[in-house]
Structure 1
């Protein structure tokens, strides 16, 4: 069976990657440092140079957009990543605004609202199936209700993202701290073992050992090697 030819391949890399050479990097670093010294900037990396040679233009990052917004593949992004309001997206809000919460003395319980939204979503779905069976023309309004519930549900979950990021960072830092403490304790245990071994060796009397006659046929070097191997095994265990 013949293999089908590939109709489309990945696009080639932009040719400007060839400009990222050690020589060009060193050249633009020297130009930045020179201009920073002339203008009195403390950080040469933040200095922008006009009229750069063609091979160095791609090594200088573009400026930030003045209005803080830019588009990529039709989607709009902002420098300040904020959760958009439901009203700005034309969606009916089904729970209080952040400015209106906790004003009546009651705590705003997101978990309870999420549970209610889930139950309401199931109920509306059952109603939608009934309408599709009896009166399909009236199902559009019910579909809009389900869409609003889903978007509100997703929006309320997204309000947890900053809290999730903080908790994830705390968990990572705690794991790093525990790992560092375990390594420190292991080093201290190895140090204590080494000190005990050295104390045991220091208690030996060299004069007594040297004065003893070596029995005939006894391999002294073999005994020393066995003692050394035992010492190394004790220190590494």
Structure 2
């Protein structure tokens, strides 16, 4: 029997060590990768130098470039396989008893499938079965296995029905996030508009001031060289308390 691949064993362990290519992330390699990106951008006449073709890089620099998206939509991390599309598996495929109709049989004969009502019924059934389990355990613990199976099926159906709300929750969360960003932008715009109007009023008020100091000199009074600045400052303080 052939020995397993050490890299696969390390990736599947509970506490895997760092990947071996971490040693490639040195200041010299990073600087060299940056220079290669800039050379490629200059040769191709593009401004974006953030990406570079992997086949054009030396082997010790390829790990510094982020990998491409998996073509088949699946990838493996620490021994676990993940997929881009993660549909909710049906209850029938998991060998659990279904306690509510499947999606293709819902909303028939003019009856709307109310998830909230089904969840309330499942919650009440859980409480009742738990009380029955306590009674069975106090009398005959060996006969508790069927009741434990019933409670398990109730929990699985409850959890499955809640997971059907996940797409709706994601859409509502995105709508709420976009609405909050829109409200914040509108508030900032209104604040800028208010400051603009306030500054315009101040400037109009300053433009209406008429200070004829030459006339005061003709009357024999000594003009104050700082009078204009003082009156301007007082006008500003009145407009902006």
Q: TM-score, normalised by structure 1?
A: 0.76
Note the C-alpha offset of 1:29: 6.3
The answer to whether residue 150 in structure 2 is matched with residue 145 in structure 1 is yes
Tell me the equivalent position of 2:159.
154
Query: How many residues are aligned here?
Result: 219
Contact preservation (8 Å) 1:28, 1:56: no
Question: 1: distance between equivalents of 2:234 and 2:33?
Answer: 56
Could you list the structure 1 runs, at least 4 aligned residues long, displaced by more than 6 angstroms after superposition: 43-47
Q: How do 1:24-103 residues align onto structure 2 when only pairs under 5 Å count?
A: 24-28=33-37, 30=39, 48-50=53-55, 52-65=57-70, 67-103=72-108
Structure with the larger RCO, 1 or 2 (CA within 8 Å, 6+ apart): 2
Gaps of 5+ in 2: 1-14
1:21 to 30, 44, 61: 30
Alpha-carbon separation, structure 2, partners of 1:157 and 1:116? 13
| Post-superposition CA distance 1:97-116 (Å, at most 9, x none) | 11111122211101001100
TM-score of the superposed pair, with normalisation by structure 2: 0.75
Give how far 1:150 is off.
0.8
Question: Gapped runs of 5+ residues in structure 1?
Answer: 1-8, 38-42
Q: Over the residues paired in the alignment, what is the CA RMSD in angstroms?
A: 3.4
C-alpha distance 221-162 of structure 1, shift in aligned 2 (>3 A): same
Instruction: Report the 3-state secondary structure (helix = DSSP H, G, I; strand = E; otherwise coil) of the residue aligned with 1:55.
Output: helix
Seen in structure 2, the aligned counterparts of structure 1 residues 29 and 142 have a Cα distance that, compared at 3 Å, is farther
